[in-house]
Chain A
């Protein structure tokens, strides 16, 4: 496809898209120094491509077209949050979003929470849902004895700087 992003930037586009969809910084999703082998971004783009490369390309193109808009607006548009009849693009966006949050791939048609397939051990422990609730993956903690007796550090650092009020 002549208008699809070139391979070297396609991954960058995917990470940028993922950041907007998830609400987490690109550096959280794909750190500049990333010892995870293979990196989650690679596993996740592969999982999405395996479902439909064409839809992933279309989604990336739609994302590129929205460049310059506030992140929340882009996320809402691509996820079609107000639609009762989402397009293939939006369903793909939602699967990618679930993948980052839960480390599991859900077929774009799935509406069932137990339908996911764990993509990799690192995907499970890298799930953003755990960060969103200021906790750690069940079965994987880097914290110290007794930490549960105190409130967690504030939810911060993992989200991009706040944009203009997005309601």
Chain B
């Protein structure tokens, strides 16, 4: 194994640094000079390369129902471009396995890849929604696999296998956007409807939240330490903590469903005093427009952040400038000449109503501000083409061919996954935004523009202790 060439070399350097005390003590660094750091555990699993393809042996997109426990690295991969390719490949493999069809019995059939028999209910849709974890009064969540905990107004309305969607903003509860430095607004589609969001966690993360009683304020106080979730590990095959955040838009015209992964969902709007909003719960056909997948792994203590979008979401700034526009988008109107791009809708925001400005229904005019460096753009383009071919090979009409990877953010200098409260680990790319999930902060200003790792590293529990890159724990009651 060529572990000396391994791409996580810098992590070793960082570990070494811990032993190097420099200060008034003379020669404090001497002990470090020749010391070869002792790897605590392999960063990169041994590769079992059977069929090397061009460029990156053993790292390719496959139709496999197993969610990768970590990214897989080519033996000699050491450059940013090579590693980005490896992480992007991981992202697609995760997307495919997380979207694998779930049978009536809840299991997956390896011979039935996504889209084979049309759209399908997915693995991640069976994970635990945040709304069922952080309950009133800090009550313990139901057992894994139990149906979602529903507000009274929704009870009896949930269609078989349906979703339960509540959020308007980016984070907890209604109109609740704590992640973003501004109280940023909702995303409104071209029919004037609010996009809706949900966050779900896998069983590893759920179990840890339950075992450590992090679902309640009292539990967090008793825990009295920074959270530290499990790391996925290629060597053992164990998955780490995974969070999925999905953005959906209502499909007013059922004919639109052909291009989306869709679901019948309970769309819940909790009551609010200010703004004054009536509680409501309706069944609607929703189409998936955005998907974040965050996975804490041994090679990425700051988690691997994969983000996907529906291909019809928005044009890029360059496309708008060049007039190279499609006839329709989910969140952009090519015919509008006086729509201001990336503006939040006027308040108050009531998801029960369309917003009317000067007699016209307000629609978000969203443009992708593409700040990805060229190598990230190239890597995503290459792998998107590969994935589309693979998924289209399963079924040329598959809805899954209508999703694209924007990029994968990963730490270039991660540190030890077992250690809590790490710094950012120098993420690549430095900035990454999903136009449906970080709509209003798509620039490249350090510390402010969308960066999954930078932003999520500010997340804390109700006790103010670090919550290990998840904003979910602050929802505890």
B-binding residues in A (CB < 8 A): 27, 31-37, 121-122, 125, 139-140, 142-146, 153-159, 161-162
Task: Say yes or no: B445 contacts A156, CB within 8 Å.
Answer: no
The reply to whether B33 and A162 contact each other, CB–CB distance below 8 Å, is yes
- Other contacts beyond A155-B22, A157-B14, A161-B30: 15, CB < 8 A: A27-B13, A31-B426, A32-B10, A32-B78, A33-B7, A34-B412, A35-B412, A35-B429, A37-B373, A121-B444, A122-B430, A125-B446, A144-B460, A153-B18, A155-B23
B56-81 contact mask (Cβ, 8 Å, vs A): 1 or 0: 00000000000000000000001110
Q: Are A154 and B428 in contact (CB under 8 A)?
A: no
A-B contact pairs, 22 of them (CB 8 A): A27-B13, A32-B10, A33-B80, A33-B83, A33-B413, A35-B373, A37-B373, A37-B429, A122-B430, A122-B446, A139-B447, A140-B447, A142-B457, A144-B421, A144-B460, A144-B466, A145-B466, A154-B23, A154-B28, A157-B14, A157-B18, A161-B29
- Taking CB atoms, residues of chain A closer than 8 Å to B373 are 35, 37
CB pair A159 B29 closer than 8 Å: yes
Instruction: Give Cα A46 to B430, complex, Å.
Output: 22
Closest to A157 in B: B17
Given A154-B23, A157-B13, A157-B14, A145–B460 Cβ distance below 8 Å?
A: yes
Residue of A nearest to B373 (CB): A37
> Does B428 contact A35, Cβ atoms closer than 8 Å?
yes
User: Is the pair A156, B21 in contact by a Cβ cutoff of 8 Å?
Assistant: yes
B252 CB–A CB distance under 8 Å: no
Interface of A is mostly: loop
Query: Measured between C-beta atoms, what is the minimum distance from A163 to chain B in Å?
Result: 9
Encode B153-193 as 1/0 by CB contact (under 8 A) with A: 00000000000000000000000000000000000000000
Cβ of B363 < 8 Å from any Cβ of A?
A: no
Contact A156 B33, beta carbon cutoff 8 Å: no
Instruction: Contacts A161-B29, A162-B30, A162-B33 given; indicate if A32 touches B9 (C-beta within 8 A).
Output: yes
The distance in angstroms between the C-alpha atoms of A125 and B314, with both chains bound, is 32
- Residues from chain B with a CB closer than 8 A to the CB of A32 are 9-10, 78
- Whether A162 pairs with B429 at a CB distance below 8 angstroms is no
A35 lies within 8 A of B80 (CB): yes
Would you give the shortest CB distance from A25 to chain B, in whole angstroms? 8
Q: How many residues of B contact A (CB 8 A)?
A: 44
What 6 pairs across the A-B complex have the smallest Cβ distances?
A157-B17, A35-B428, A156-B20, A33-B412, A161-B33, A142-B423
- Taking CB atoms, residues of chain A closer than 8 Å to B23 are 154-155
CB distance from A153 to the nearest CB of B (A): 8
Given A156-B21, A162-B33: A35 touches B430 (CB 8 Å cut-off): yes
> Which residues on B sit within 8 Å (CB–CB) of A37?
373, 429-430
Q: Establish whether residues A35 and B32, one from each chain, have CB atoms under 8 Å apart when the complex forms.
A: no
Minimal beta-carbon separation of A109 from chain B (angstroms) = 31
Query: With A154-B23, A157-B20, A159-B29 known to touch, is A31 a contact of B447 (CB < 8 Å)?
Result: no
Say whether A161 contacts B10, CB under 8 Å. no
Asked if B219 lies at the interface with its beta carbon under 8 angstroms from chain A, I say no
Q: Which one, B20, B29, B78, B413, contacts A31 given CB within 8 A?
A: B413
Find out whether the CB atom of A157 lies under 8 angstroms from the CB atom of B430. no
Which residues of the partner chain A approach B21 to less than 8 Å between Cβ atoms? 154, 156
From 425 to 472 in chain B, residues with beta carbon under 8 angstroms from any chain A beta carbon are 426-430, 444-447, 454, 457, 460, 464-466
B140 CB within 8 Å of chain A:
no
Q: Pick from A33, A140, A158 the residue with the most CB of B within 10 Å.
A: A33
Interface contact A140-B460, CB-CB below 8 Å: no
Q: B135 on the interface (CB 8 Å rule)? A: no
How many angstroms between the C-alpha atoms of A144 and B14 in the bound complex?
19
Q: Measured between alpha carbons, how far is A143 from B23 in the docked complex, in Å?
A: 22
Minimum CB–CB distance from A136 to chain B (whole Å) comes to 9
- Distance A158 CA – B427 CA, assembled complex (angstroms): 18
Query: Quick one: which of B9, B18, B464 contacts A146, CB cutoff 8 A?
Result: B464
Contacts A35-B426, A139-B447 hold; do A145 and B20 have CB atoms under 8 A apart?
no
Q: Which of B13-58 touch A at CB < 8 Å?
A: 13-14, 16-18, 20-23, 27-30, 32-33
Which of A27, A142, A144, A155 has the most chain B CB atoms closer than 10 A to its own CB? A144
Determine if A33 and B428 form an interchain contact, defined as CB atoms under 8 angstroms apart. Answer: yes
- Residues of chain B from 390 to 430 with CB closer than 8 A to chain A in the complex: 412-413, 421, 423-424, 426-430
Q: How far is the CA of A34 from the CA of B20 in the complex (A)?
A: 23
Distance in angstroms from B71 CB to nearest chain A CB is 14
In the assembled complex, B226 has its CB within 8 A of some CB on chain A: yes
Give the shortest distance, in Å, between B255 (CB) and chain A (any CB): 42
- Considering the complex, give the chain B residue whose CB is closest to the CB of A145: B464
Contacting pair A31 B412 (CB below 8 A): yes
Which residues on the B side are within 8 Å of A122 (C-beta)?
430, 446
Query: Which of A32, A36, A37, A121 has the most CB atoms of chain B within a 10 A radius of its CB?
Result: A37
Residue of A nearest to B422 (CB): A142
On whether the beta carbons of B20 and A154 are closer than 8 Å, the reply is yes
CA distance A144 to B22 in the complex (A): 23
Q: How far is the CA of A142 from the CA of B466 in the complex (A)?
A: 12
Give the contacts of B348-374 with A (CB-CB under 8 A).
373
Q: How far is the CB of B20 from chain A (nearest CB, A)?
A: 4
Q: Which of A121, A144, A158 contacts B446, CB < 8 Å? A: A121
A145 to B463, CA, bound (A): 10
